[in-house]
Amino acid sequence: MVCLVSLITLYYQWENWRSARELAVVRLRMVERLGTDDPLALMPPKVADEDNYFANPVLESWLRVTQPERGQMQYTAPSNALLPPGFIQPEIVDSADGEIDRLDLDAWMKKRGGQGSEAAAAVLARELGDGNGLLPKLAEGLNKPFSVMKPGPREALEAAGDDPCIAVIPNFHGLNDFQRQLGLHLRSAALAEDTAKTVSTALIMLRVSEGTARGGLTGCLVPLALHETSFDALHEALSHPAWTPETLGRLQVRLGQFDDLQQYQSAHGQEILGTFSMLVYLRNHRPELHEVIRHRSTKPWLWQRLAEDIFDWVVVLGPIGWHDANIAFYTDCMLEQLGPPGAKAWLTGTARGQAVRLRSRSENSWPNPRRFLAGIAIPNVGSLAEVAAKTLFRRRCLIIACALEKHRLKQGGFPASLEAVKEDLKLYTITDPARPSMPLGYRLETKGYLLWSAGPDAKDDGGTRDKDKPWREHDWLWRMQREP
């Protein structure tokens, strides 16, 4: 018995010693890459109501406490908040090769039974109106410098007594549907040449998207999805004569104040710091760790669930070194997925993510207490960096499109090169995300123009599509074709 206790003690000491060294090395790497090990460093700042778009009375009225015992809150917009009762929504015809996704108003008119000689665009604008009176109210505070859902991450952490395990940040139920309703209003207003409604709805969409960028990978995925909806609607809206130089300038400024790729990198860094802090907290509060992992079982047989529960307890009560090893492995894998600093790191992000998944799977292929928690915590980042880069490309296309539309309004047509609008674009970063030192490609076409990026392979194909190349190696295209 003395020998057994001595061997176990020696094993514990060995695990603690070697894992502490692993953790120290990885922590140093984390500080070198992120510049800090403070979980608050990359969090969005606290924002006073007078500076926050989300202090809008309509949005505040949608914030409800859903689980009082946990302090869980949720924004919930009324179903079809911006649509009249019984409204039949028009379909959007998807396009290819960077062309505009447009409303199919002919099919919509047939579906609803027609409306005499009145134009479809006029019928749609009349039926949508001002979104049940909500759009003018949502336009309040559009010029405030920040847009942050309330409460923000810092406030949530303070309310939880700095316990990251119970800190609760609200989500927005039905936000994708709400954003699509805004997009429908934007497209309709542009078709009807309603300048005031067009610009205010566009700015509302962008502010709502920005407000969901609350840090962490979830707070990166949501705004990326919302910006895709916004940018699709803006693409069509800019093809209609509903704009003035002043409204185009306002849209340009708003678009230029958010960088999707920087937001992804910051969110990824915050995910690392936040989860690192949470794992350290659980390391020092092991009963709470057991509460976190005890409901994870999906095993079908009683004996399998029993074995899993026993293993969970072994992990919780094992050497402190096991916990240090898990923290080190998680952090190392996440730093690898984030990659080096710099605007071109996203180009190899998908490959790094695949390598990390293979590494995690191989090192955690059996119940390994030194990798168990890390295997649960490491998310599948996949091609998120590439999605952020493509979203940034589309954002920059819209910024350039505003300048080109101003030029068209003044000169009567689009210019032969971007050189003609360089003065209007001097305050904005409009380079190719795939080649940060190079401008986006631009070519004048019969009905408009084409903008393109070299895409994930960073090889410029001149804005053409080679059918023999894999789709991931194609240039990214963005076309503007004005309606006759």
Tens digit of each residue's pLDDT (9 = 90 or more) over 196-243: 999 999 999 999 999 998 878 888 999 999 999 999 999 999 999 999
Instruction: Tell me: pLDDT of 105 over 80.
Output: yes
The model carries a pTM of: 0.91
Q: What is the largest CA-CA distance in the chain?
A: 97
Long-range contacts (CB closer than 8 Å, 24 or more residues apart) made by 322-325: 322/15, 322/19, 322/369, 322/370, 323/19, 323/279, 323/282, 323/283, 323/373, 324/16, 324/19, 324/20, 324/22, 324/23, 324/283, 325/15, 325/19, 325/22, 325/23, 325/370, 325/371
Cα separation of 434 and 440, whole Å? 9
CB atoms within 10 A of CB 300: 7
Q: What percent of the chain has pLDDT over 70?
A: 90
**Are 254 and 230 spatial neighbours (Cβ–Cβ below 8 Å)?**
no
Question: β-pairing, 448-453 with 441-444?
Answer: antiparallel
The overall average pLDDT reported for the chain is: 89
Q: What are the angstrom distances between the C-alpha of 388 and each of 178, 400, 463?
A: 22, 18, 20
Cα separation of 355 and 352, whole Å? 5
**Are 156 and 167 spatial neighbours (Cβ–Cβ below 8 Å)?**
yes
Cα separation of 78 and 75, whole Å? 10
Long-range contacts (CB closer than 8 Å, 24 or more residues apart) made by 438-441: 440/393, 440/396, 440/397, 440/400, 441/475
Higher pLDDT, 139 or 78: 139
